[in-house]
Amino acid sequence: MSTGPSEKPRQPPESTSLWLRRSDQVFVGSLLSVGLVLIGVHWIRLSDWGRQTVEVDRLPAGHYQYSIDINRATWVEWAQFDGIGESLAKRIVADRERRGPFADIDDVQRVRGIGPKKFADMRPYLTVDAQRATAERATPARSARGVP
């Protein structure tokens, strides 16, 4: 009988490679394998493997289907035209308010920033109510003299 503590046989230390124990290496390897399989499945789904392509008919680019009255249009309506941004649209409305309504469509060119090319592109979509413009021109003159 021995009176001292019983000695257990020592197990040899697990070999480590890349700072990982064997069980850790198996876990990381399994995790990487599952990740690669999932990436492969995702790639196959993104590549539309096994699907047929569908031809889509596209409509031709549309043109303006409206016209604006140059004496009643807000800056938002003016800004819908290509080449006229918010600042130029506000400048058109401010000019109309300061100098009076436009007598005819060609008067829009008096606004700084509207050149012949831009005006030619917009002209088919501009209208003017001549009777209303004449009445609006006369109205400020009466109110300036104190006549209601």
119: nearest Cα among 105, 136, 100: 105
Task: Quote the pTM value.
Answer: 0.49
Are residues 96 and 137 in contact, defined by beta-carbon separation less than 8 angstroms? no
pLDDT in tens, the chain (148 residues): 556 566 666 665 555 666 888 888 899 999 999 999 999 999 888 887 777 777 888 888 777 677 899 999 999 999 988 888 999 999 999 999 999 999 899 999 999 999 999 999 899 899 988 666 555 555 554 444 444 4
